[in-house]
Amino acid sequence: MKKYYVAVALLAIVSACSNDKPSTDKKDTAATAPAAAPAASDMSSNPDYQKGLELIAKSDCLTCHKVSEKLTGPAYKDVAAKYANTDENITMLAGKIIKGGQGVWGTIPMTPHATLTEADAKQMVKYILLLKK
């Protein structure tokens, strides 16, 4: 039984010591992070981005959608890649959010969000379309 406790203690010590290596990797990553940081901060300072993100966070959108991965509905980045950031597309996509839709991304329908105002739905679409790379 003592061998068991000694083995567990040694394993704990080894894993505690091995956690030091990733922290040095983080320092290396942090050194390269500033190059990518301005792009992220530029996007997050955009009022359309901020307001749209806030509205989506308060809604049930993230139940079916994710930013980068398909869930029940398409990923926001896939929507952004498919549609140009035009007033016509913003109006059309806002209408789909409010009225619901089916067929563009598969057979599973998007439920209507009739309680959303058109202005809020448009703001959400503006956020999504800003995710285009």
User: 86 and 112, same structural domain?
Assistant: yes
3-state secondary structure 13-53: HHHHHHCHHHHHHHHHHHHHHHHHHHHHHHHHCCHHHHHHH
User: 132 and 67, same structural domain?
Assistant: yes
Residues of the domain holding 95 = 46-133
User: 20 and 51, same structural domain?
Assistant: no
Number of domains in the chain: 2
User: 67 and 111, same structural domain?
Assistant: yes
In this prediction, residue 35 carries a pLDDT of: 40
User: 86 and 106, same structural domain?
Assistant: yes
User: 66 and 3, same structural domain?
Assistant: no
Q: Full-prediction pTM beyond 0.75? A: no
Would the pLDDT of 80 be above 80?
yes
Would the pLDDT of 84 be above 90?
yes
Would the pLDDT of 26 be above 70?
no
User: 57 and 3, same structural domain?
Assistant: no
Q: What angle do CA 11, 29, 132 make, to 5 degrees?
A: 120
Lowest mean pLDDT among 9-18, 56-65, 76-85: 9-18
For residue 44, give Cα distances in angstroms to 17, 18, 39, 52. Answer: 37, 35, 9, 11
User: 71 and 29, same structural domain?
Assistant: no
User: 127 and 89, same structural domain?
Assistant: yes
Determine contact, residues 14/93, Cβ cutoff 8 Å: no
Tokens found for residue 123: 């703001």
Determine contact, residues 46/52, Cβ cutoff 8 Å: no
In this prediction, residue 13 carries a pLDDT of: 52
Quote the mean pLDDT of the chain.
Answer: 79
Q: Which CATH number goes with the domain that contains 129?
A: 1.10.760.10
